[in-house]
Amino acid sequence: MHSINANVLLLCLATLLSRAFSANFSELFQPSWAPDHIMAQGDTLQLKLDNASGCGFESKGKYLFGRVSVQIKLVQGDSAGTVTAFYMSSDGPYHDELDFEFLGNVSGEPYLVQTNVYVNGTGNREQRHTLWFDPTADFHTYSLLWNRHHIRFLIDGIPIRVFANREDIGVPYPKNQGMGIYGSVWNADDWATQGGRVKTDWTHAPFISAFQSFEVDACEYLPETDDMVGKCREGGDYWWDRPAMIGLSLHQSHQLKWVCRKHMVYDYCKDTMRFSDPPRECLG
């Protein structure tokens, strides 16, 4: 009986989404857990967290290189203990993953955005930034751009982080696993706000983050297709493979330096308590 109800709920949600969204959501994405906590409001997808559950969605396909973007408006008011996530990930214990995680806070305190890069199941590459705007007042665009040379984390087109391909010095780089695209909101009050010292206040629930304007411009990874890894990685016909995309422009480099100087509050490369010897990619 439970599985029948769940299937009916998924069918109803899929129907609702197909009516409410410009085609790219219903064609590219689907609920991944707690579909009863996902609500369509016009062109906006609302993800709800309460003391029963969070929720999430996932792409139907996987991708190897390209750019994915979404506009997000984060939980308003007291969001301590909550995490809203937008990320890409492959499957299995040796997965690759690229994370945007938005760490909630008590009213009046700034949100922190945490980024991370996993390669072959290993992460521990966190950076944290404050934002130069109120992410709860309006929608802003969050993007992941990923090619053979580097990974860019962008907010409204401004790079806040670049993870370069340093295989030349033995640093592993994600280039062989197709990754799905995910969004979620969930409770992480054991670590998310002030290291877990501030817990989620459920009297303020439900906590709602809103997503809209999904864009996927990436090479779809189809394992059943011969040499798909080679096609996506070595194709050369994609805009992200052009010489201009090897690195940042001068203007983008200046933007990145500004963000790091004004808004970075944590960088794993400088955490000598965690790493007595800096990770190899941090050496220059």
Model confidence over 50-105: pLDDT tens digits?
A: 999 999 999 999 999 999 999 999 999 999 999 999 999 999 999 999 999 999 99
Tell me the range of 6-10, 22-26, 79-83 where mean pLDDT is highest.
79-83
Distance in angstroms (rounded) separating the CA atoms of residues 137 and 14: 28
Please give the model's pTM, rounded to 2 decimal places.
Answer: 0.89
Instruction: Find the catalytic residue in 101, 109, 167, 234.
Output: 101
Residue 71 has φ and ψ, to the nearest 5°, of -95, 135
**What tokens were used for 117?**
């890069």
Distance in angstroms (rounded) separating the CA atoms of residues 68 and 63: 10
215 is catalytic: no
Instruction: Judge whether 101 and 87 are in contact, CB under 8 Å.
Output: yes
Residue 211 is predicted with a pLDDT of 97
Q: Provide the pLDDT confidence category of residue 146 given band limits of 50, 70 and 90.
A: very high
- Strands 29-33 vs 140-146: parallel, antiparallel or unpaired: unpaired
- Strands 207-221 vs 44-49: parallel, antiparallel or unpaired: antiparallel
101 is catalytic: yes
Instruction: Find the catalytic residue in 58, 97, 220, 281.
Output: 97
- Strands 82-89 vs 97-103: parallel, antiparallel or unpaired: antiparallel
Report which residue type is found at 123.
G
Q: Does domain 2-283 have CATH number 2.60.120.200?
A: yes
Residue 69 has φ and ψ, to the nearest 5°, of -140, 155
Q: What is the mean pLDDT of residues 122-145?
A: 97
Q: Provide the pLDDT confidence category of residue 225 given band limits of 50, 70 and 90.
A: low
The alpha carbon of residue 103 and the mean position of all alpha carbons in its chain are separated, in whole angstroms, by: 12
